[in-house]
Amino acid sequence: MKRAGPLLLLLLVAACAGPQSALSGAGSGSGRALLLTIVMTVGFTAVFALVLGLTALAIFGPQGWRERFGREGWVYGLGIAFPVVVIGALLLWGFAILGADEALADAEDPVRIEVTGERWWWRVTYLTDDGRRVESANELRVPVGRTVELALKSADVIHSFWLPAYAGKTDMIPGRTNTLRFVADEAGRVRGQCAEYCGGAHAFMAFWVEAMPEAAFEDWLEHEAGPPPETSFPDGETVFLSSGCGGCHAVRGTPGASGEIGPNLSHVGSRTSLGAGIMPNDREAFVRWVADHQEIKPENNMPPYDILNDEELAALGAYLEGLQ
């Protein structure tokens, strides 16, 4: 029993690690909030221990100590002055930390990204400096060290955008735009999730965010804005177009694939995951998604495609993977 306590604590802490942890503090705001949390926890634990110690001393201590504690000065000193000073300081510091994010609003030249919650995936649109709208889905890429300004919207019901490594939850409300700002401190990949029940497949509505060096980000965005390389799997493209996938999904530069109902697939093969953060992204996963998505992600809004045979599925998998 004696050893179980620390072990349990260790397990709990381990569960908090990983790409979707509120304790990773990977962004400027979340980093300061983490520091505040640690200072508070450690500081007040020390205060608590001090109070317990003094109480014990006052009850069980030697006669001399007990007499000394009888004096009124202790009440003024430790009972009033100490809490006022300590709590007051922490409060001011806390305000400063929470206020620091507001300063991000004045940042010059933030990266502007529109994220729209749809049942049950994320439409992601980059607004470039020269006024273009570059649409993608289910994944965000952001430059390190530059303010990111997200315009959060909803296409249907209330969703909540939760990216614990960088910031707290922000609701996505139909007919409104909420703004969320953060700065990624270092390169890396973290995960986020919808945190407001939005019906059927809510539990399968996650996303990945990759923070990358500024120059790499600019190159990536330029590539993302363009069409994918010419496909080496024309058979797969034929299955894609003739089966009506293009009525819901867009592939830039491909006539007949300009649908805006489902995720933009122009570069789907280069994303981290499929189905909004729930599956790996490789050829086999593409085949599984098209063949079984209603079993993998029940009630999602893509029609079931049980008509496709193995050959057609394989061709589609190769084609989709090639959309880099």
Q: What residue ranges bind another protein (CB under 8 A)?
A: 241-244, 246-248, 256, 259-261, 301, 303-307
Angle between helices 82-103 and 28-60 (to 10 degrees): 170
- Please report, for residues 123, 160, 203, 250, the alpha-carbon distance to residue 200 in angstroms, rounded to integers and kept in the order given: 18, 15, 8, 25
| β-pairing verdict for 111-118 and 147-154 | parallel
Residue placing its CB nearer to ligand HEC in the complex, 4 or 307: 307
Q: Please tell me whether residue 34 binds ligand HEC under the rule CB under 6 A.
A: no
Q: How far is the CB of 247 from another protein (least distance, A)?
A: 3
Contact partner at residue 304 from Cu ion, another protein, ligand HEC, none, CB < 5 to 8 Å by partner kind: another protein
> 3-state DSSP call for residue 204?
helix
Tokens of 317: 């998998």
Q: How far is the CB of 210 from Cu ion (least distance, A)?
A: 22
Q: Please tell me whether residue 121 binds ligand HEC under the rule CB under 6 A.
A: yes
Residue placing its CB nearer to ligand HEC in the complex, 104 or 251: 251
Burial class (CB in 10 A: 0-12, 13-18, 19+), 3: exposed
Select from 30-38, 64-72, 93-101, 260-268 the region that touches ligand HEC (CB under 6 A): 260-268
Q: How far is the CB of 219 from ligand HEC (least distance, A)?
A: 22
Select from 6-14, 109-117, 140-148, 262-270 the region that touches ligand HEC (CB under 6 A): 262-270
> 3-state DSSP call for residue 194?
strand
Burial class (CB in 10 A: 0-12, 13-18, 19+), 107: middle
Tokens of 294: 């209603």
Size, binding site for ligand HEC by CB under 6 A:
30
Question: What is the binding site for ligand HEC (CB under 6 A)?
Answer: 120-121, 137-138, 201, 240, 243-245, 247-249, 261-263, 268, 274-276, 286, 289-290, 297, 300-303, 305, 316, 320
